[in-house]
Amino acid sequence: MAPVAAARRTRYITGMPYSHFDPERRQRRLDRFRQIPVRKLVPNVITLLALCAGLTAIRLALEGRYELALGAIVFAAMLDAVDGRVARMIKGTTRFGAELDSLADFFNFGVAPGLILYFWGLNAPDDRGLNTLGNLGWIAAMVFAICAALRLARFNVQIDDPNRPDWAGNFFTGVPAPAGAIVVLLPIYLGFLQVSVPAVVTLIYTLAIGGLMVSRLPVLSGKKMGTRVRPDMVPPVIVAVVLMIALLVSYPWHLLTVGTLLYLALLPLGWFSYQRYKEADAAAAASANAAAAVPGEAVLPPQPTQPGGERPARLN
């Protein structure tokens, strides 16, 4: 009743008659019932499906069905790679969708992989039935999940940085969360290939991948690669995609192991590429300063190294 009384006093002081009709309140009600385009709901539905896959992965790990649990994580990573592209393609990007995507990524690629590793190897008993690592295994799982949260929070902040160069959209700062989740599960892949991995090695490896996620290492994103395909390359691309899916279904652990090792081996390429962009920017700035030092010459602003200059809205 307080707002009504305040409105009555205001209208009494100003000499305006009081009316129960409030145009601002009516507009707020209309905004609540305004219809939302379906194209803005589709990316969020894909994100929620990925979240369901992450939740199911934890349940499957608790039941000891680690093959299906890893399949759920891989499926969630595929959906995460699709939702942002679908949102940009159908122009359905929203702030709500970006926040939901970040929360789902934290759970799917931080909490779920950490728990799966803990149930599988970080809490594994030795020959005497005792926990080999004690509480260190649980600490490693928590550290990995925390690193995923910090990495996602830093990414959300960097997107809104106005001083970030255009070409920086080609790189991630640190290993992205979906890739970190796939890579950190390498000890389980090797276990399915009958390669025994000691619990201590799994512990150190988990902490190392978590460190790479929060590091400042530039990692090639690949977001601006493969957006368009030449007409003559359409059949080879389709054949390659079908072949990858067939190999993933037929030999999942072999393919995931090889892919993980290749990804780790190619991480230095991102750093070298990042340094070349920085050197090109430094050379452009030096040329601009040299031109400004010469009197009577027009100084042109330095051109961006990367044409386009559009940064994706959701780069998880």
Query: What tens digit of pLDDT does each residue of 213-250 get?
Result: 999 998 888 766 556 777 777 788 888 888 988 988 89
Q: For the chain, what is the domain count?
A: 1
* Nearest-angstrom CA–CA distance, 249 and 263: 20
pLDDT > 90? residue 108:
yes
- The answer to whether residue 17 sits within a structural domain is no
Q: Predicted confidence band at 125 (pLDDT cuts at 50, 70, 90)?
A: low
**Residues contacting residue 195 through CB under 8 Å, at least 6 positions apart:** none
pLDDT > 80? residue 11:
no
- The answer to whether residue 126 sits within a structural domain is yes
Q: Predicted confidence band at 277 (pLDDT cuts at 50, 70, 90)?
A: confident
Q: What is the CATH number of the domain that holds 45?
A: 1.20.120.1760
pLDDT number for residue 95: 83
Summary mean pLDDT of the chain = 80
- The answer to whether residue 260 sits within a structural domain is yes
| Whole-number percent of the chain with pLDDT over 90 | 39
pLDDT number for residue 316: 46
Report the range of poorest mean pLDDT among 23-32, 82-91, 199-208. 23-32
pLDDT number for residue 67: 94
- The answer to whether residue 13 sits within a structural domain is no
Q: Predicted confidence band at 127 (pLDDT cuts at 50, 70, 90)?
A: low
- The answer to whether residue 137 sits within a structural domain is yes
pLDDT, tens digit, 9 for 90 and up, residues 279-300: 887 787 778 777 777 655 554 5
3-state secondary structure of 25: helix
Rg of the chain (C-alpha set) = 26
Q: Are 219 and 270 contacting, i.e. CB atoms less than 8 angstroms apart?
A: yes
Q: Predicted confidence band at 84 (pLDDT cuts at 50, 70, 90)?
A: confident
pLDDT > 50? residue 203:
yes
Q: Please state the rounded mean pLDDT for residues 89-94.
A: 79
Encoded tokens for 256: 């995931």
- The answer to whether residue 58 sits within a structural domain is yes
* Nearest-angstrom CA–CA distance, 307 and 167: 8
| Whole-number percent of the chain with pLDDT over 70 | 76
Report the range of poorest mean pLDDT among 105-114, 118-127, 197-206. 118-127
- The answer to whether residue 282 sits within a structural domain is no
Structural domain span for residue 219: 35-223+235-277
Q: Please state the rounded mean pLDDT for residues 131-139.
A: 83
- The CA-based diameter of the chain, rounded to the nearest angstrom, is 88
Report the range of poorest mean pLDDT among 9-23, 29-43, 270-284. 9-23
- The answer to whether residue 49 sits within a structural domain is yes
Alpha helices, H only, the chain: 2-14, 23-32, 42-62, 66-89, 95-106, 112-117, 136-159, 177-184, 186-192, 199-214, 234-250, 252-265, 267-293
pLDDT number for residue 32: 61
* Nearest-angstrom CA–CA distance, 113 and 32: 38
Q: Are 220 and 171 contacting, i.e. CB atoms less than 8 angstroms apart?
A: yes
pLDDT number for residue 238: 87
